């Protein structure tokens, strides 16, 4: 599920997460990795035949590791330098970033595999599965399920409160919707805006939205 370089970078990520958020944070990122990789492998042969599968048959490289986890890692590192009173919001942002990424991954992969009717989010016109910015009912429901799963892990490990579950799910929905719009518009126009950079923006939107909502509800 990882290239050799991806494995090394994932080790660095794991060390940072364990050092800053201990085993609860580590469990969240491991759950994301296993669930996300599993979703990517669903109907891989059919997706590869259609030309819409992830490269390397879904094996994650360094770029994938940090596109998914950079924002969460920054939330973890923030606990080392910011006041203790901010730590609950940083933990909320951490969980929300992975809720967002798993939501995006499951929505994309389930949509590619099982989406019956796929629409471009900006025009609602039918488009082929795998089109950047495309959405489907099957993918959307799977994405919500993915965000709930990560949020539940965050709650069970005491990183977030029960209210935090709802905040993470809402933030993930906001972020994945924004990511679909970016994919359908800016990503198609700007060559420098790579898919990995879009993923960083996606998780950042999710984390910022969760932190903002959490701060307002304090």
Domain chopping of the chain, boundaries: 4-216
- pLDDT tier at 183, thresholds 50, 70, 90: confident
First to last CA, the chain: 40
- pLDDT tier at 69, thresholds 50, 70, 90: very high
Is residue 111 a contact partner of residue 139, using CB atoms and an 8 Å limit? yes
pLDDT higher than threshold 90 for residue 172? yes
What is the per-residue burial (b if ≥16 Cβ within 10 Å, else e) of 134-153?
Answer: bbbebbbebbbbbbbbbbbb
Could you identify the residue written with the tokens 């923006």?
201
CA dihedral 184, 185, 187, 188 (to 10 degrees): 90
| Chain segment 112-164, per-residue pLDDT in tens | 889 889 999 988 899 988 888 889 999 999 999 999 999 999 999 999 999 99
Between the CA of residue 64 and those of 111, 161, 162, 199, what are the distances in Å?
Answer: 20, 29, 30, 9
What tokens were used for 133?
A: 């910015």
| Chain segment 53-66, per-residue pLDDT in tens | 777 777 888 999 99
**Phi then psi for 136, rounded to 5 degrees?**
-140, 160
Task: Please give the pLDDT value at position 65.
Answer: 93
Q: Please tell me the distance from the alpha carbon of residue 63 to that of residue 113, in angstroms, as a whole number.
A: 24
Task: Please give the pLDDT value at position 212.
Answer: 97
What is the per-residue burial (b if ≥16 Cβ within 10 Å, else e) of 11-45?
Answer: eebbebbeebbeebbbbbbebbbebbbebbbbebe
Task: Please give the pLDDT value at position 102.
Answer: 96
Alpha helix positions (H), 42-136: 44-50, 62-81, 87-114
Between the CA of residue 94 and those of 40, 52, 160, 183, what are the distances in Å?
Answer: 22, 29, 10, 23
Q: What is the pTM of this model?
A: 0.93
Q: Please tell me the distance from the alpha carbon of residue 160 to that of residue 169, in angstroms, as a whole number.
A: 12
| Chain segment 189-207, per-residue pLDDT in tens | 888 888 889 999 999 999 9
């Amino acid at each position: 599920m990882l290239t050799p370089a991806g494995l090394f970078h994932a080790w660095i990520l794991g060390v940072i997460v364990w050092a800053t958020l201990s085993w609860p944070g580590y469990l969240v990122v491991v759950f994301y990795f296993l669930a996300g990789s599993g979703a990517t492998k669903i109907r891989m042969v059919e997706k590869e035949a259609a030309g819409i599968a992830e490269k390397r048959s879904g094996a994650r490289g360094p770029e994938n590791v940090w596109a998914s986890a950079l924002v969460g890692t920054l939330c973890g590192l923030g606990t080392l330098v910011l006041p203790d009173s901010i730590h609950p919001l940083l933990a909320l942002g951490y969980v929300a970033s992975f809720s967002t990424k798993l939501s995006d991954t499951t929505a994309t992969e389930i949509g590619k595999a099982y989406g019956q009717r796929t629409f471009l989010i900006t025009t609602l016109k039918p488009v082929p599965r795998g089109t950047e910015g495309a959405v489907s009912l099957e993918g959307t429901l799977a994405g919500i399920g993915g965000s709930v799963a990560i949020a539940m892990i965050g709650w069970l490990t005491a990183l977030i409160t029960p209210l935090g579950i709802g905040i993470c799910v809402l933030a993930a929905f906001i972020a994945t919707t924004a990511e679909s719009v970016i994919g359908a518009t800016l990503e198609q126009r700007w060559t420098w805006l790579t898919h990995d950079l879009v993923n960083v923006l996606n998780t950042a939107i999710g984390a910022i939205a969760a932190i903002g909502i959490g701060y307002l509800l304090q």
